[in-house]
Structure 1
Amino acid sequence: MKNILVLIDNSINSHHLALSAMNVALKIEANITLAHAAKKNSTEEAQQEFGVENLNEREGLDAIAYEVDIAVKKTGSLIKIYCLMYNGSVIDLLAEKTNDGEVYLVIIGSHQSGEWEKVMFKTQMQDILENIGCPLLVIPKQFIVKDIHQTIFAVDLSIGYKKALRYVVAFSAPFGADVLVNHISKLGFPEKPSEEDLYNEVNLNLDPNLPSVAFHSIRSTNVKTALLETIEMGKVDLLCLVHKNYNFLSGLFHRSVSKQLADNASVPIMVLQESL
């Protein structure tokens, strides 16, 4: 069975993350691990203080897990809920737990509303993308994933995208969601190959047992703005992007538009590695 890892910090938003994970897990039939990472302390005295704080954090984690487990049992599902207290940083946790193929998806929440938290989130996001070994789903603050009707897979077709697309199609299928591939290019789609040829290319390597995907090329001099406009039009429930160092997505998380997408997006964003 698949495994979903959810990063919990025992904030109010943690309940929304846990419920989102439950709704996703019920659809794709996956077990859930609710994980809380606490930074290591260097001195024995600090470690003793950490132990007391750690106990309170564990109680909060267990309480969330208990609520989710009760909700799951009411559905009759056999998926399991686990807890993980990790003595280390979030980055350490992801590097250790997500690079062996055992974790199907990691779910995290976006930042809190303060300016300092926004800066920290952007910095941590880049570190996460460099260390995570599986797709990442970023849930907006106080958002609960329920149904997914439309998935947009935005990608520059010049990079490796086929494995990531297969993942997105397989993930979206249990929701009955339509998948639309948006070819992102400042120049728009080229005359050759034609848009029809690109559509055929996109669908060529997909599982024939799953629905085919639609194809659209974003014709805009500012691709980032076009993506934001797509989200704002309310025609997407999940936006999927492929991460590659120094490419379009890397720029998203370093420039002002990254703040709009990662910090203020009104829909969940899934980030997938090119090497998936």
Structure 2
Amino acid sequence: MKKIVLPTDFSETAMNAIKYAVKLFENDLCRFYILHAYQQDVYESDVLITKENLHEVTKTANENSQIHLKKALKQIKELSPNPKHNYKIMSANNILVDEVDEIVEERDIDLVVMGTHGKTNNSKLTFGSHTLQVLKYIKCPVLVIPKGYKYTVPKEIVFSTDFSMPYQQRELGFLSEIASDYQAQIDVLYVSELKKLSLREEKNKHFIEESFKNNKTSFITVDGKNIIDTIRTFVENHPTDLLVMINRRHSFLENILFQDTINKMGLSIDIPFFVLQNINRK
């Protein structure tokens, strides 16, 4: 059974991401954890917080969270009454990234699915602040769905990566399953100015080949100095339903996610973005 966390702030973008997840895994046995972390709501409420009223304001926030979670769950079940899916609503007086991190560790979660933005929905930003934190710090795969993206069967998957470090079988296996379920093509995109791989890179490439041996796969090498521009150009010129990258220590993606200038660098996401985390897990 797949275990998937669905963070929500009850925005349209969050619900759209939930709908995508429910549709994507409609043929799988899944347990979905619909999570609302409301600590920020407490301190951003219209009520002036004091020591005397903090408990009451927090209690009200919890009650509102539970009400909206139940409404969201009802909506999801009406849209997709799938007997293979079961749901658990979770309300937490915590910061979202910390709560997701705890749930991932405690429940051995397979995937987090969320929208690119929350209620604030600043269209000038590639990711909202909560989404960016989850992408940076959560130790499991994260699937991010852009605002208004209408579900499309993922037939064309672009997996942009280098071969410099070993990969994790669990995460590549998860991607392989998705591709198999939809008979999708996986294009492994390698951006480099070098024409020849080192022995270590060849070994890591072989590991990917073995991980995707049951999938339709092609390996594509593109010459380019600016990785973002090269990936964007490739995606714009090739049908792409899902863009996949790996986040790990000192990786290209980590460097982007940790820079304040991420949005000035032109990483625009208008298709589902699947980030794998290159870490050892159970």
Normalised by the size of structure 1, how large is the TM-score?
Answer: 0.84
| Cα distance between partner residues in 2 of 1:155 and 1:269 | 14
| Partner residue in 1 for 2:93 | 87
Query: CA 1:191 to 1:32, structure 2 compared with 1: closer, same or farther past 3 Å?
Result: closer
RMSD value, Cα: 2.9
- Per-residue deviation at 1:204? 4.5
Write the distance in 1 (CA, Å) between the matches of 2:274 and 2:179.
12
Report deviation, 1:30.
Answer: 1.6
- Provide the secondary structure at the position in 1 that maps to 2:269: coil
Post-superposition shift, 1:31?
A: 2.0
Match status 1:206 vs 2:246: no
Determine which of 148, 160, 173 is the counterpart of 1:166: 173
Q: How many Å separate the matches in 2 of 1:169 and 1:203?
A: 10
Q: Give, in angstroms, the shift of residue 119 of structure 1.
A: 8.9
The structure 1 residue matched to 2:189, chosen from 173, 182, 194, is: 182
Q: Which of 248, 252, 257 is residue 248 of structure 1 equivalent to?
A: 252
1:217-260 Cα shifts (integer Å, max 9, x gaps):
12112121011112223511111111013320012222446764
Residue of 51, 68, 72 corresponding to 1:64: 72
Structure 2 residue aligned with 1:268: 272
In structure 2, distance between residues paired with 1:51 and 1:26: 36
The one of 140, 143, 151 aligned to 2:149: 143
SS of the equivalent of 1:33 reads strand
| Residues 73-126 of structure 1 deviation map (CA, whole Å, 9 limit, x = unaligned) | 2xx5331122111120112112201124621110111125437x839835x455
Deviation readout 1:152-181 (Å, 9 max, x if unpaired): 111111122352433321222212211111
CA contact (8 A) 1:148 1:175 kept: yes
Determine if contact 2:116/2:126 at 8 Å carries over to the other structure. no
Alpha carbons 1:107, 1:139 under 8 Å: kept: yes
Residues in 1 aligned to 2:152 and 2:137: alpha-carbon distance in whole angstroms: 28
TM-score, length-scaled by structure 2: 0.82
**CA–CA separation in structure 1 for the residues paired with 2:205 and 2:7:** 38
Separation (CA, whole Å) in 2 of partners of 1:237 and 1:119: 18
Unaligned ranges ≥5, structure 2: 43-49
Matched, 1:132 2:163: no
Q: Secondary structure at the match of 2:26?
A: helix
**Partner residue, 1:22:** 22
SS of structure 2 residue aligned to 1:84 = strand
Asked whether the 8 Å contact 1:28–1:171 carries over to 2, the reply is no
Q: Percent identity?
A: 19
* Displacement after TM superposition at 1:188 (Å): 4.1
Q: Residue 34 of structure 1: CA displacement?
A: 1.0
Contact 1:252 1:258 in 2 (8 A): no
Cα distance between partner residues in 1 of 2:272 and 2:177: 17
Deviates more, 1:265-274 or 1:223-232: 223-232
